[in-house]
Amino acid sequence: DQQVKQNSPSLSVQEGRISILNCDYTNSMFDYFLWYKKYPAEGPTFLISISSIKDKNEDGRFTVFLNKSAKHLSLHIVPSQPGDSAVYFCAASETGANSKLTFGKGITLSVRP
Amino acid sequence: EAGVAQSPRYKIIEKRQSVAFWCNPISGHATLYWYQQILGQGPKLLIQFQNNGVVDDSQLPKDRFSAERLKGVDSTLKIQPAKLEDSAVYLCASSLAQESDEQYFGPGTRLTVT
């Protein structure tokens, strides 16, 4: 049972345009959400996070939006750059669960020059 | 600051053989995690240590997988005997504290079981 779902396996965008990566979750106990970025042959690296008490968190070109009623979050990258080409994982955890992360399957983002 | 180190980076074994992976977390990080990432899937937590004690091993197949962190620093993950479905990347991660939100990942060990 996939508790964190990234239904689109891939996304291709033009350099300079916006990239929107979507994530849905089913477990209503999740209250902390993270995005990780992964390059080939490397481990995932933390990108940005959001607590369930917020609906938006911004860090430079990266913004995460959370819609709790829809159990949906999205990562916006503006403007997209070729170096952003990677696999992006959405992850979720619940407070008190020893920070255990549940990951989605990932989305492969390709940014075309 | 040195990152999480893992070795070996690649391993090919035949089914029914045994294999061991090693992880050295970031200095001072109390919490250590082992994840299994099967091709096309996200990482799945196998076991979590807080210092040298196990916090969560609910998804560890204990009939064939074992892990230890004897001195609360380095950790080893062992598979004995390996099955074809164990082919995956095994990721080690560490974090400062148990409730810390940021986990730092190593590069992983890619295991192929033939």
Residue range A22-38, pLDDT digits in tens: 999 999 999 999 999 99
What per-residue confidence (pLDDT) applies to B97?
76
What per-residue confidence (pLDDT) applies to B71?
85
Contact yes or no for A105 and B42 at CB 8 A: yes
Q: Max Cα separation, chain B?
A: 39
Chain A contact present for B94, CB below 8 A: no
pLDDT at B36 over 80: yes
The span from the CA of B26 to the CA of B64, in Å, is 27
- Mutation site for A-interface testing, chosen from B105, B109, B110 by largest number of A Cβ within 10 Å: B105
- Helix, strand, coil percent values for chain B (each to nearest 5): 5, 50, 50
Torsion sign, CA atoms B101, B34, B70, B65: positive
For the stretch B71-86, pLDDT in tens is: 889 999 999 999 999 9
Contact yes or no for B101 and A98 at CB 8 A: no
- Mutation site for A-interface testing, chosen from B51, B94, B99 by largest number of A Cβ within 10 Å: B99
Minimum mean pLDDT range among A53-57, B1-5, B65-69, B104-108: B1-5
Amino acid at B70: L
Distance from CA of B42 to the nearest CA of A (A): 4
pLDDT at A99 over 80: no
Contact yes or no for B55 and A103 at CB 8 A: no
The span from the CA of B32 to the CA of B95, in Å, is 7
Minimum mean pLDDT range among A78-82, A97-101, B36-40: A97-101
Mean pLDDT of A62-71: 97
Give the nearest partner residue to A103 out of B40, B43, B100, using CB atoms. Answer: B43
Contact yes or no for B55 and A98 at CB 8 A: yes
Distance from CA of B20 to the nearest CA of A (A): 19
Eight-class DSSP state of B40: T
pLDDT at A97 over 90: no
pLDDT at A96 over 80: no
Place of tokens 């997988």: B65
